Structure formats: structure tokens, C-alpha cells
Structure 1
Amino acid sequence: MTVGLLISILLSNTPVWAERPACGVNFRTSVNESPPLYFPPEAGGTPRGITIDIIEELKKRTGCEFTVTSMNRSRTAHSLQYSSIDLALLDSRNITYDKYAKFILLRPSARKFLVNLKNPPANPPSVQELMNNPKYKFILQPGSRIFFKPDEVTKLEKEKRLITMPNLPQCFKKLKDTENAVFASQGTLITYYLGDHPEFTLVDDKENVFESGAYYVPRKGIQAGIALVEKALAEIAKDGTLNKIVKKYQRVPK
């Protein structure tokens, strides 16, 4: 057998995974603790959710490893600040994270609102009406001011129209119990919760679009891995994989 033929045989039997880039990085990764982005594991099971599926795609496409911890936004900001994580996936771009880490765009994400109206009108209120009418109170969890423009936060704070709840389940309980209450977030999260709460009125913001993606803390030894992750995220968004993953976790209103 010639050397050339032997090499050809060996190459033809090389497993697909060997063709992945040599990443050599295990990223300490935070994921947003809120469904549908993340569902904690049930007894004997494994976690699931949009971010978990995206991480599985990243593993296949980059050869990198990811050690995952679910966190709220306040803890994620602290972890980015003190470099106790390498990567935060997924979240909306915001000035707090921008202080400590660099952003990788996945896709733009429209802002949406859910409103608890006792007698929903034929036409839902506009975003401008929600902001300018003092009867509307805005419910948010710590770290969620990222879904408001600075002038909106200033106005709502001055008028004492912000209600902070400790976590997402408590936000939706408060929303359900409070007439004329409003909850704002990016489209994927709002659509998911509308599936459980068709009684809420959906208000689309057609002007303000937020960037959704990942943050990373630059440190020695991970830049080559980050380049692979950035390339893979762009491919996931472009080839339709992201849309398939998001659709998998969306719920139809009851």
C-alpha cells in the first residue's frame, strides 16, 4: 500500500468532529435565568431553553466548551465587572454591561409591552400613550431598565411610576394583579409569556429596536475562541438555526 493511499484511507475515516476548529477554550458562561431563555433541570434531567440550544450549536460549530451558570442581570453585571465569567449569552445590549465587556451582535430585537387593561380597547394604546399617561405603572425586575431609553427612565422615576419586583415570576404576578400595569421586554420573552396570558394587551414598539447578543470579557488566551464564537453566532442567525430554536420554545396563546 502506498503512503498516499494510506493517508487517503485515514482521512476518509476521520470523524466529523475532528474537522471542527481547534478552540482549546472552556468559556465560563452565564445565561439569563428567565424562561424561555433558560429552564432549570428537573429531577434527573438537564437544563433546556433557547440559550442552552444555542450553546449546543456553538459546541458543534466551534469545538469550544462552555461551563454554564444561570444568573439574573444584576449578578451577571457583577460577574462581568470582576471577570468571574468569560461570556454572557444572551442579553440585550446595555450601557452597564458595556462598561465591563465587549458585545457580539446576534440580531436586532423589537421592544414589546404587555399591559393589563380591565376593558381592552379595539385598538391598543400607543407606546407614547403608555409613557405619557400617568395611570400606567411600569413593572420591572432589577437590571431591566435596559429596555427603556434614558429619558423614559428619568420621566418614569420622576413620576414615581416604576414598580420593581425581585424576579420575573413576581413581575407577572404583579402585572396580573394590577390594573393598567405594564411590562416591557424584548419580543421573544413577551411572545412567550403572552402564550400563558392572552388576557394581556400586546403593544408593539415599531420605533425602538434593541440589539440582542453576547458579551465577553477580553482576557489572555480566549481571543481565538471568541473569534470562533462570533463567527458561529453570525452563521446561526443567518442560516435559520436561530429562528428554529426560538420557534421551538414559543407558546400559542390559550
Structure 2
Amino acid sequence: MQYYLRKTTILSGLLFLILLCFCEFCVADNNVACSQLRLAFYEDGALFYRNAKGEFLGIDKDVVDELQRRTACSFRTSVDSRVRIWAQIRQGTLDLSVSGIATKEREKFTRFIPYFSTHNFAILRKNLPPESQSAEGFLAYSQLRVGVVKGFQHGETYEAWLAQMRSQGRVEEVGDFETVIRLFRAHRIDAMLALPTGMLPLQAPELREQFVIKDWVPTETVNFSLVISKANVSDELAVLFEKTIADMRKDGCIEAILHKHLGPDLMTNVHNVN
């Protein structure tokens, strides 16, 4: 089924005020030592981005700020690529990250505490032949190429499809979604895989009429989680973070943060984790 972007409305601001999560009684009673924990963000759409003033904003920043406020833990933050973040966690030089997607391999050295879920969409060039606009049809057109962010996990079905595309040399893998969009604009790729959290740049006037959005795998959701190093973070502290994130989900804080950065239209396909 085709998915269309719609303009957000003033309701997003009203919903955010209604769902606003700040509350003094939500601060945890924390006796666990947790100062100067090393935490890395990565830039990606509404998850973490710069505004016109160069200030960092986003879903992940608000989640970390609220986690810090509720636990009284302190974080030493940095910004890096997904690939380097995972390498640092594996090597033990990083304690935490955000919006991580669990795999069996990653679960060997990290814990995952989910705070929202969504799923990927296929963004296709609008003038592609109709018969090429399904996953199977796109695969059958050998001249068509797709762009993805290196190191990102798209879910079992999409990863199986990408494996077939990679075997034919038809996948462009780059460091961030902004570069994927540039490749699309330059007609070097014909499709990209994107999450609702990354779709805000696609609403630029010069891009809106160039693509269609296809929901190829509507039932395969992906959890986005706080990522915790098993080697560096104690079980006691991990439990504290898990309880705090659970409280943020239950009291509406996570939903408020999502509404703030996405608005009600994109929120249609982004969900709090129950």
C-alpha cells in the first residue's frame, strides 16, 4: 500500500503540551554511581539533528536529557557515525548509545532497552515503471539501484532483499541518510529505504514531486533502543536505566518527545513500546 506524506498541523504543538512529560516526582531515587558515562549520538533525521543555529536537537537528545534528569547520572556525549559507534562499544571505549537496533551478534556485547518502534519504507523514484515498484519488481529490473546507510539494520525481510541486491552490485552504502538523499537527487540511485524519523528532509519542495513511498513490509517493526555496553555498565545501573525508560513510556514522556519532533502525521507509523 502506498504511503503519502501529509503536512503537519498546529495540533502537533497542542498534543505536545498535553503529553508534556516533565514532572518533578518522576526523578528516581538513585544510589548507583553513574557519573561521566560515555554516550555517543549519530545524526539521522528527527533522531538527532542541528537546527539553523547549529544547536543539536532531536528525539534521542530529549530522551537522554530526560534520562539524565530522572536518574541524576551524567553523560559525556559525542557525535559519531553508526559504524564507529558500534566498533567503540565492541572495543569497550564507549558505554552507551541511542536508537540502536538489536541483532544476535550485537546482543553478545550490549544490552538493549527499547523506547519506540517503527518500520522502514521504500522511497522510489516517481517515474519508475509501475511493475518495478514492488520489492520483487525492483529486483527484476537489473539496472535499478538502492541506497542505504552503512551499518543500519532494516529488519529481516529488507535485509534478505538487500543481500540479493548486494550480490548483484546494486547497493550504494554511505555514512548517513543525508548522503543517501544526495545520491537520489543526483540520479545515482533509484530507491532508498527510510524510516518515518528520517522523512522530514524529503518534504523539501524540490524533492516532494520526485518520489513515491511504498510500504513493502508493513508488519515488520524495528525497535529503537538505548544501547548499553555489557563490559562497562553494571547490571545494577542497567536495571536503573531499564526501569527509568519503562516509566518514561508509561507516563507519556516518550510519546510526547516523538510528537514534538515528528508531528501527528509521521507519528502514524511510529509507536511507543508497550
Q: Confirm or deny a common fold (TM above 0.5).
A: yes
Displacement of 1:89 after TM fit? 0.7
Secondary structure class of the residue paired with 1:208 = coil
Q: Where does residue 33 of structure 1 map in the other structure? A: 43
Equivalent residue pairs, number: 235
Q: Distance in 1 between matches of 2:71 and 2:129?
A: 48
Of residues 114, 137, 142, the one that matches 1:134 is: 142
Secondary structure class of the residue paired with 1:36 = helix
Equivalent position amino acid for 1:130 in 2: F
Higher relative contact order (CA 8 A, sep 6+): 2
- Is the contact between residue 48 and residue 60 of structure 2 (CA under 8 Å) also seen in structure 1? yes
Secondary structure class of the residue paired with 1:216 = strand
Q: Work out whether 1:232 is the aligned partner of 2:244.
A: yes
Q: Distance in 2 between matches of 1:107 and 1:73?
A: 18
Of residues 135, 138, 151, the one that matches 1:143 is: 151
Q: Work out whether 1:203 is the aligned partner of 2:214.
A: yes
Displacement of 1:67 after TM fit? 1.6
Equivalent position amino acid for 1:85 in 2: L
Q: Work out whether 1:247 is the aligned partner of 2:254.
A: no
Q: Distance in 1 between matches of 2:203 and 2:132?
A: 18
Q: Distance in 2 between matches of 1:42 and 1:66?
A: 25
Displacement of 1:157 after TM fit? 1.4
Q: Where does residue 214 of structure 1 map in the other structure? A: 226
Compared with structure 1, are the counterparts of its residues 72 and 94 closer, same or farther at alpha carbon in structure 2 (3 Å cutoff)?
farther
After TM superposition, list the pairs within 5 Å mapping 1:31-180 onto structure 2. 31-40=41-50, 46-118=55-127, 125-144=133-152, 146-147=153-154, 149=156, 150-178=159-187
Equivalent position amino acid for 1:104 in 2: I
Equivalent position amino acid for 1:137 in 2: R
Q: Distance in 1 between matches of 2:91 and 2:150?
A: 19
Equivalent position amino acid for 1:29 in 2: L
From the CA coordinates, give the structure whose radius of gyration is larger.
1
The percent of aligned pairs where both chains have the same amino acid is: 17
Q: Distance in 2 between matches of 1:137 and 1:157?
A: 10
Secondary structure class of the residue paired with 2:192 = strand
Secondary structure class of the residue paired with 1:206 = coil
Q: CA RMSD in A?
A: 3.0
* CA deviation map 1:147-170 (0-9, x unaligned): 153432321112221012343222
Q: Distance in 2 between matches of 1:221 and 1:119?
A: 49
Q: Distance in 2 between matches of 1:19 and 1:174?
A: 46
Any gaps of 5 or more consecutive residues in structure 1?
1-14
Q: Where does residue 3 of structure 1 map in the other structure? A: none
- Is the contact between residue 112 and residue 202 of structure 1 (CA under 8 Å) also seen in structure 2? yes
* CA deviation map 1:85-137 (0-9, x unaligned): 1111112223553343122222332121211222686x993344334443431
